[in-house]
Amino acid sequence: MELAGESQQKNWLNPIELFKRKEIVKICAPMVRYSKLPFRCLVRRYGCDLAFTPMIVSDSFIQSQKARDSDFTTNASDRPLVVQFASKCAKDFADATELIVPFSDGVDMNCGCPQRWAMKAGYGAYLIQNPQLIEDMVKQTKQRVPNDFPISIKIRIHHNTRETVDVCRKAEHAGVSWITVHGRTIEQRSQPCSYETIKLIKDSVSIPVVANGDIRNDDDIAQVKEATGVDGVMAARGILVNPAMYAGYKSLPIQCLQDWIDISLSIGISYTHFHHHLMFMLKKVLGKQERRVFNSLTNLHAVLQYIEENFGITRKMPASF
């Protein structure tokens, strides 16, 4: 685990205080490869209240210092922060959580990842079929962390909504602080989210509920709030395309593009991740042929030159990248 970049200390509310004080909490999702420190720093500048790390496999995190340094980099301004672990064992989840308590403001259990490798290994959405294991992991972890350190879960929904409600109620009973609900089943990808199921869950528990899925702008936030009564929203694909969406921007502002370049070159990020984020951000800005050209660029110098020529943003090459 490492501290890096933007070291100025800031005041922040922990997640529980956020849910108590804000009408709706705006959250950046845990996205594998994408929601790393530089991107979290970017979205925090544009109205994001709470950011998650990418999903981290707990057993690797426990066993390897190299894995910890690779998977979890933060800094003093990266708050409030929730670390998400994929676990299938209560001890692993508790051990991993203990390691990150001093550097974060909560831990989340991934019970929603639908990828085949995760399901086959017993991680992610596999867990929603085993609410007793979720309970055990939450209870054991609560015994090992401070009383005010929140534990949350992020789930997908069952075809049978009663099963989903049962998972949520058992998780609440075990002591989770809030539940994030991706309103699709394991098999669904682009189908509309089930706001009806999210509302049912919200009406069935007394802890905060966060809606995830199809959140791209202020209109979507207002719609899901009205339809479900949730306490927070979580964006993934929408915030990749427009990291300024929570600040009310309907499309990517040029300043956000400038900020991404400045933050990335200051803190440090791999060229691949730096370029891929820009590919998302410019998806609706560039035409088809322009995207083809930009996406084919293979080095930092070429990207910075393209950005300068097309957007007037000038940034010198760093000494190392």
Residues identified as active-site: 113
266 bridge partner residues: none
Closest CA to 181 of 44, 29, 56, 24: 29
Distance CA 94, CA 97 (A): 5
Is residue 190 classed as helix, strand or coil in its secondary structure?
A: coil
Residues 123, 134 contacting (CB under 8 angstroms): no
- 184 CB burial (10 A radius; 0-12, 13-18, 19+): buried
Supply the DSSP symbol for 53: P
- 271 CB burial (10 A radius; 0-12, 13-18, 19+): middle
Which helix H or strand E contains 1, and what residues bound it? none
* Residue 16 backbone phi and psi in degrees, to 5: -65, -40
What tokens were used for 318?
A: 């760093």
Closest CA to 3 of 54, 108, 55, 78: 78
Closest CA to 311 of 274, 285, 291, 277: 285
SS3 content of the chain, % helix, strand, coil (to 5): 50, 15, 40
Residues 262, 318 contacting (CB under 8 angstroms): no
